[in-house]
Structure 1
Amino acid sequence: MKFLSNHQFYILKSEEENFVKNFGKKIREIRIKNMLSQEMHANIPINQVGRLERAEINTTINSVFKLANASHISVKDLFDF
């Protein structure tokens, strides 16, 4: 089992935070492009969409699938950032 130093852990955490932020920006960009409200987007709770866009929470693969379907794009496109 390999342990990470504090410095390595910080870099990983920072990369994860950037990934979540970029994912949130992409969700918002696509939602606005498709003229969808947060409420109508993907039939998931409005507060969840807002929290995803603001990178306050992670999401499930189920929600990613719903977001892609509601936007009429592939799941892969949500991660193109």
Structure 2
Amino acid sequence: MTRIEALGVVIRDARTRRSISQEKLAAFAKLHRNALGRIERSEVALNLNTLWLIADAMGVTASELVQEAEILAATDEQASSA
């Protein structure tokens, strides 16, 4: 799993843990729901501004999301090479 893929997973997981729908998070972050869906599915790489908007809308820091994605990607890579 790439770091971009991991970031999409982390964003989706953070959103669902908070019981926020894609529609609500997208509205809070001032994004179109389809754009958020594409980010969560790792179809597009998001820029820093978008990452900050999403993080702020969920009440977390962008660095928390990135750190979780780094850990997930590294864990997946280790599992794949084992």
Per-residue CA deviation, residues 32-69 of structure 1 (Å, 9 max, x unaligned), is 01111111112311001110111100112111011110
Percent identity over paired residues: 28
Matches within 5 A, 1:3-18: 18=2
The TM-score, its normalising length taken from structure 2, stands at 0.73
Per-residue CA deviation, residues 10-42 of structure 1 (Å, 9 max, x unaligned), is xxxxxxx70110000000000001111111112
2:42 and 2:2 mapped to 1: Cα distance?
Answer: 9
Greater fraction helix: 2
**Unpaired segments ≥5 residues, structure 1:** 1-16
Q: In the comparison of the two structures, how many residue pairs are matched?
A: 65
Residue 78 of structure 1, aligned match among 56, 65, 72: 65
Quote the residue 1:14 is aligned against.
Answer: none
Question: What root-mean-square deviation, in Å, do the aligned CA atoms of Structure 1 and Structure 2 show?
Answer: 1.2
The TM-score, its normalising length taken from structure 1, stands at 0.74
Q: Is 2:18 the counterpart of 1:31? A: no
Structure whose CA Rg is larger: 1
Structure 1 residues 35 and 43, CA gap change in structure 2 (3 angstroms): farther
2:57 and 2:18 mapped to 1: Cα distance?
Answer: 9
Higher RCO (Cα < 8 Å, 6 or more apart)? 2
